Chain A
Amino acid sequence: MSIQNKIVLGIASFVGIMLLGGWLAINEPARMEVFTRQWDGRSIERGAELYLNNCTSCHAVDSLGLAGYAPALKNPMLFRDSNPGKVANDRFKDLQRQRNDLQALVDAYNSDLQQRPTVEARRNAAAEGSEERKAAQAELDDIDARIRAYDPATEQKLADLDVKIMEAQAEVEKYKAEGWEVTRDVRLKELNWAGGLRDYLRSTLISGRPTSGGLWGGNIMPAWGQAAGGPLRNDEIENLVDYLMNYASEAVKLTPNDVRQQFKIAGEGAAAVDKITLGRSVDVMTLDLSGGDPAAGKTKYEGVYGCVACHGAPGGAAWEVAPLPGTYTRVVDVRLKVAQFAGYTPEQYLAESIIYPARYVVAGSAVQMPANFGDLMDLQDLKDVIAYLATHK
């Protein structure tokens, strides 16, 4: 081959390489995307294999769980952002709370109307200029003021609320019929899990559930990750996570009735009481705080609400908080003298301290008391605890 032909062939080769390289580069972004999808697919396949061979004896082939063994993984409580039954139920309870507030106003109004003649009579009976007359007059003025302030539309609002409450209740019943537990939140929220769903699945797979045997009749989920002594490598754990995550679109369409076994949480077994809590915006002055049971209050003080943890058991004071001994006397003699609490009864003071601890902090202390008891306690709880506190004179 002559030199010239060699040169021409050489030019052709290099130009050819350039053209091919350009073609390759143009197609590369699309190819990378396709390959990424394909390898995601393979990961799911491998996860499916691993699931079939390792997980089906407890979680079932269709991932709907086995009663008494393991919860469903194709589970709306796992994949949804919220429990629609709980959302409906919270709304229902909220409406009921509003209704209670309105009803209290109506009751107070009616009570005032009823009492007015009596008070008026008392005033008229008292001597001119006497203390009694002045007191009765003041009382009468108060009653008149409250009567004037009463919104006549309140009863109508009450009626409207009743309609809404019935609709809300129907919705709650509908969800209950589908199997939603209306007091439970979805799994990740129930556990206060800080990360995402993938992290949750991965963590559970790696470590298993070594301490939950008591909940499951001795059936313990073993640790699967090699880091925790199990048989699976990290990439296999990741394959399983991919496989489980692929249930998302199907799982969100299910209802809890579709699964054989739901998640459990430690502390279950104690009946979940569906109560109407006070909420965080209740006006303690309108509450009827009488009639609490000190014995029940003691149980709640030392038990479920954990007051004893900071305020100590009788006989001992703890930290810079109001010690239990002498509570009632202290309230009457010291606390109620503060200007902020003019007109308060001791019970009202105690109620406000529990629900709104930040409203008054004794000089020198910091606000450490939790502010969420309104979400945890209902009216009876509050009455009982106050009754118990009142026994500490």
Chain B
Amino acid sequence: MTTPTVTKGKAAVAQTKAAESAVAPATESVAKPINRREFLYYIWGASIALLLAQSGGAIIWFLFPRFREGEFGGVFRVDPATLPAVGAAPVSNPTGKYWLSHTEQGVVALSMVCTHLGCLFKWVDANNRFECPCHGSKFKTDGTYIEGPAPRSLDRFVMNVITPSGTVSTDSAGNPIKVDGATQLEINTGRKIKGKGHA
């Protein structure tokens, strides 16, 4: 590798100059135009910054947990034959942490976690509703808030209902979906729609 000849020559000159300007403070600087070397350094700096940004993105992608099918956080496939009848008691899936309620409006997948402070509420058959044992929040079969300290109705998981004529997905409000003629349901426990707050 050859030595940086530019600096060498200038260093000698600079030393003399430095000795001369040792007294005068160097606060008054003349803004020098960018030369090629400086410009190249800036380009290099930009490429390094871009690489760091790309690495940052890659690291985030790397770090985020992924859930396989059948794991909580992933997708659960449900055979429509195992769904409860309209108006019957909801069925639960402890691994997926959801309740499947079948009302007149259709099937909805409710998160098992109470919207108050995170306890798992129970289904009380005698009263035909969900009741949370921790602080007494109560919800209807479709998750609508009845009473209690919970701030909103029960949260819903996004669901895909697959029929021979196409797939219907849960809308942004989380409304139930009718399942006539469905061949499969997919419950995505990684995507939750918050229940509506009550007044």
In the complex, A touching B, CB below 8 Å?
Answer: yes
Given A7-B41, A11-B43, A22-B54: 9 more A-B contacts, CB < 8 Å? A2-B2, A4-B36, A14-B48, A15-B47, A17-B51, A18-B51, A21-B54, A21-B58, A25-B58
A1 within 8 A of B: yes
User: 1/0 per position for A1-29, CB-CB distance to B under 8 A?
Assistant: 11110011011001101100110010000
Return the chain A residue nearest B53 by Cβ.
Answer: A18
Instruction: Report B-chain residues with C-beta under 8 Å of the C-beta of A18.
Output: 47, 50-51, 54
Q: Is the CB of B40 within 8 A of A8?
A: yes
Complex: chain B residue closest to A198, CB-CB: B70
Report chain A residues within 8 Å CB of B1: 1
Interface residues on B, range: 10 to 19
Chain A contacts with B in 286-329, Cβ cutoff 8 A: none
| Interface size of A as a range | 10 to 19
Contact of A1 among B2, B40, B55 (CB under 8 A): B2
A and B contact pairs by CB, cutoff 8 A, 29 listed: A1-B1, A1-B2, A2-B2, A2-B4, A3-B4, A3-B6, A3-B37, A4-B36, A7-B37, A7-B40, A7-B41, A7-B43, A7-B44, A10-B44, A11-B44, A11-B47, A14-B44, A14-B47, A14-B48, A14-B50, A15-B47, A17-B51, A18-B50, A18-B51, A18-B54, A21-B54, A21-B58, A22-B54, A25-B58
Q: In whole Å, how far is A25's beta carbon from the nearest beta carbon of chain B?
A: 6
Which single residue of chain B is at the shortest CB-CB distance from A36? B68
Q: For window 193-231 of chain A, which residues contact chain B by CB distance below 8 Å?
A: none
**CB-CB < 8 A to B58: which residues of A?**
21, 25
A16 to chain B, nearest CB (A): 10
Question: Out of B37, B48, B51, B55, which one reaches A4, CB within 8 Å?
Answer: B37
Interface residues of B in 1-55 (CB under 8 A from A): 1-2, 4, 6, 36-37, 40-41, 43-44, 47-48, 50-51, 54-55
- Chain B residue, CB-CB nearest to A12: B47
Instruction: Name the CB-closest residue of B to A7.
Output: B40
* Any A CB within 8 A of the CB of B61: yes
Interface residues of A (CB under 8 A from B): 1-4, 7-8, 10-11, 14-15, 17-18, 21-22, 25
Inter-chain contacts of A11 with B (CB < 8 A): 40, 43-44, 47
Give me the 3 closest cross-chain CB pairs, A-B, nearest first.
Answer: A14-B47, A7-B40, A11-B44
Q: How many angstroms from the CA of A348 to the CA of B162 in the assembled complex?
A: 49
The CA-CA distance from A7 to B37 in the complex, in Å, is 8
Of residues 144 to 168 in B, which have CB atoms within 8 Å of A's CB atoms? Answer: none
B51 pairs with A14, CB closer than 8 A: yes
In the assembled complex, which residues on chain B have CB atoms less than 8 Å from the CB atom of A21?
51, 54-55, 58
CB distance from A38 to the nearest CB of B (A): 16
Return chain A residues, CB-CB under 8 Å to B51: 14, 17-18, 21
A10 to B41, CA, bound (A): 9
For A8, what are the chain B residues with a Cβ–Cβ distance below 8 Å? Answer: 40
Chain B residues closer than 8 Å to A14, beta-carbon distance: 44, 47-48, 50-51
B10 to chain A, nearest CB (A): 13
A10 proximity list for chain B (CB < 8 A):
44
Bound-state Cα–Cα, A202 to B94, Å? 20
Within 8 Å CB of B44, what residues of A?
7, 10-11, 14
A2–B6 CA distance with the chains assembled, in angstroms = 10
**CB-nearest residue of chain B to A2:** B2
* Interfacial chain A residues near B54, Cβ < 8 Å: 18, 21-22
**What's the Cα separation between A379 and B4 when bound, in Å?**
110
Q: Which residue of B lies closest to A1 (CB)?
A: B1
CA gap between A14 and B41 in the complex, in Å: 13
Instruction: Report A186 CB to chain B, min CB distance, Å.
Output: 14
A270 to B: closest C-beta gap in Å: 32
